[in-house]
Chain A
Amino acid sequence: MKSTVARVASAVGALALTLTAAGCGGSDDGSSSADGKSSVTFWGWAPGYAQAVKAFNASHPDIKVTYQAVQPGAKGGYQKMLNAVKAGNAPCLAQLGYETLPSFAAQGALQDVSAEVSADDQADFQEAAWKSVSLGEQVFGAPVDTGPMALFYNKKVFDKLGLKPPATWAEYRTAAEKIHAADPKHYVSSPYLNYDYAGLAWQADAGWFATKGDAWQVTMDSPGNKKIADYWQGLADDHLISNAPMYDQGWYTGLGNGDIATVVGAVWQAGVIKGGTKAGAGQWAVAPMPQWDANAPKAGNAGGSATAVLKGCDDTKAAWEFAHWLSTDPTTYGTLIEKAALYPAAKKLLDLPQLNKADPYFGGQNIYPVFAEAAAQVGTDWTWGPLMTKTAADLDDGLGKAWAGKSSIADALSDAQKKTLAEMGKQGLKTTP
């Protein structure tokens, strides 16, 4: 019986051990193994990353990168990363959207790697992208891609009405009226939410956040933002905007049958439209974003991500080396463009052959020069807030109502600002008007 007790006890012990081990999915946080080889773990979700890591390992015998695919950030990946940082077993590197990066920083989940970064490294990247991964003197990772914006428009609908792609927002409004007047089922566009809406504000330099010394400024209800809000509110009030939610099946249908005539969106929308609307093949084309001031053209940005270094990484040198390589190696990046429709943050990659070819879906147009031009016009002063996930959710609560005519976009912005300031205050973050 004694042996039975021992058996049960050891079984229970083993079970407990197994559970503990399972609870801490083994991940190493960058260490050097006995043979002097650095090893770095990388969590991400972009298609093509696994292949990129293979290529890196083949060409860098002194560093071993282990890639683990996780859920896309907003679908649980970010939560997993934050939990791993809390538990002290986070990977060295993680894919992280620019908009979420400050939130990670504000949870103490990122590691400053500025010591590893040379001036040449920094010069490799577009300024706006570089600003997205750095706060003051600190650098938290390498920019991978950006989301310069342009106007996707249904050329078939425009041609039928004798319309040209609008060069200014005033012309865009005129086009909206004509499109809807010609067919009451046709609308110029659909409601924009969270980061897609942010891109519209970004173009007009209507920032949402700024840092001033050691305090945050929240400026979502600034006069600049009010101007953008009132413009779109005007379109919504006059029923010129469809009620199809973006990325919903009804939206894809509308893109294919002419009900939704334009999408103001980032370069990756090309992949979204192509993938979701087979019926739109040959109908769509790309033009520069309509301008507020035709003499000083500007573009907004929506999306883009970095390879960020998480807190607890021991081998920041190897981590930075891989992150920099992933963002700048031409062969690897060419594959990423084909697989994930990424648009490089590194300047020298903008003339890759993959970014210079006619696309039959867009009626044989080579759409990339439009985005290359836009990328150079993206304002560099945009800053994301420290509680961005919450801010975006609060904003969407208001925007959803506003587009449906139950509230206004301006109110949505000022409500989101109030709630963000309240939460920042509760957590003790310093704010200044």
Chain B
Amino acid sequence: MSHSSAPGAVAAAPPGARASGRPVRHRPLSRAAKPLLFCAPFLVLFAGMYLAPIIYAAVSSLSTIRRSGLGLTAPTKVFDPLGNYTRALHDDAFIGSLGRVALFGVVQVPVMLGLALGLALLLDAKSARGKGFFRLAGFLPYAVPGVSAALIWSFMYSPLSSPVNRLLAHAGVTMPFFGSDVVLWSVANIVTWSWAGYNTIIIYAALQSIPAEVLEAARVDGAGAFRTAWSIKVPAVRGALVLTTVFSVIGSAQLFNEPAVLQPVSAGSISSAFTPIMSAQSAVAAGNYPYAAAQSVILALLVGVVSITFFKITGRRESA
């Protein structure tokens, strides 16, 4: 891409001569090469740590593994570009896991962001007290590592120890947190608990950028707190909402920690292919890396399509 300067193309000025106070280079780098040079450390790391694994996964997903007999020798790979993909699209467990996280995303993301938006508006309200405390309190669950959070919640949900159910027992009801139809929403609750505060902070930060005179003008025009929130504040944080939505959608697609931790205590409600990542993991457990790679590629493509579509739909230029 960059054409390095040809050997003959040395600067005309003799060595050491000064032109407009700048030292003249012996061999000027071409204009394109210089930024590349500064970016080199990044580019090397980016290529090695980021691109290489992605390319490796994509390439390996194009082969299927072949063993023979008892299979006591290393498996061979056969180039079969569609083999793993065809299998994945006919794999009920994998397709089911995609449907599950899709349902999860459609419900959990709006609920969580609605909650986050509401909390941010409350924090931003003129009459709010103890803003610092609530900002921190809302943010704290995000600081708890996902696996630890899932462990805490597994204790809250477990039929053996659930303090929630112990309280409800007085009223003669129990909440089947691990019921087949309930368990997805038990997981959604953990994710919401972990991330609502984080999203609140992002939206709250966007609210801070609304010029005071705009809010002042609204007040002079007789808009109440609700009207101001709806007509001025919400449109102003549109960008932040789009961003948090896309992040949350990606998060839903990558759901793994919470269901994986709850699995052993879920009485079979969480299967080993509950989410797409778990499904890919179970292909790894079968020693079938290319098939796991194919599932990951399909998941990445779907998330990409959903994100781009969402950006397209919401992508009208934000008017200030």
A contact residues around B29 at 8 Å (CB): 1, 5
A contact residues around B284 at 8 Å (CB): 79
State whether A403 and B160 are in contact (beta carbons under 8 Å apart), knowing that A5-B29, A397-B272, A429-B67 are contacts in the complex. Answer: no
State whether A8 and B48 are in contact (beta carbons under 8 Å apart), knowing that A1-B26, A387-B287, A423-B288 are contacts in the complex. Answer: no
Is the Cβ of A253 less than 8 Å from the Cβ of B268? Answer: no
Is the Cβ of B272 less than 8 Å from the Cβ of A12? Answer: no
Is the Cβ of A250 less than 8 Å from the Cβ of B160? Answer: yes
A contact residues around B282 at 8 Å (CB): 390, 393-394
Residues of chain A at the chain B interface (Cβ within 8 Å): 1-2, 5, 8-9, 11-12, 15-16, 19, 79, 82, 103, 105-109, 135, 138, 211, 214-216, 243-245, 247-250, 253-254, 311, 386-387, 389-390, 393-394, 396-404, 406-407, 423, 426-430
Complex Cα distance, B18 from A352, in Å, reads 88
Q: Total interface residues on B, using CB and 8 Å?
A: 46
Interface flag for B13 (CB, 8 Å): no
Interface digits, B255-291 against A, CB 8 Å rule (1 contact, 0 not)?
A: 0000000001111110111000000001011111001
10 A-B pairs whose Cβ atoms sit less than 8 Å apart in the complex: A2-B27, A12-B40, A12-B41, A79-B284, A243-B267, A245-B265, A249-B161, A387-B285, A397-B273, A427-B75
Is the Cβ of B75 less than 8 Å from the Cβ of A108? Answer: yes
B contact residues around A428 at 8 Å (CB): 65-68, 71
Min Cβ gap A239→B in Å is 14
Interface flag for B131 (CB, 8 Å): no
Is the Cβ of A15 less than 8 Å from the Cβ of B75? Answer: no
Min Cβ gap A268→B in Å is 19
Q: In the complex, which of the residues B37, B65, B72, B75 has the most CB atoms of chain A within 10 Å of its own CB atom?
A: B72
Which residues of chain B in 282-314 are interfacial with respect to chain A, using CB atoms and an 8 Å cutoff?
282, 284-288, 291
Residue in B65, B71, B87, B267 whose beta carbon sits within 8 Å of that of A404 in the complex:
B267
Is the Cβ of B272 less than 8 Å from the Cβ of A394? Answer: yes
Complex Cα distance, B286 from A386, in Å, reads 9
Is the Cβ of A407 less than 8 Å from the Cβ of B268? Answer: yes
Is the Cβ of A108 less than 8 Å from the Cβ of B74? Answer: yes
Q: A403-B268, A404-B268, A426-B291 are in contact. List 8 more A-B contacts (CB 8 A).
A: A16-B48, A243-B267, A387-B285, A390-B286, A397-B271, A397-B273, A426-B87, A427-B287
Is the Cβ of B271 less than 8 Å from the Cβ of A108? Answer: no
Interface digits, B40-80 against A, CB 8 Å rule (1 contact, 0 not)?
A: 11001100110000000000000011111111111100000
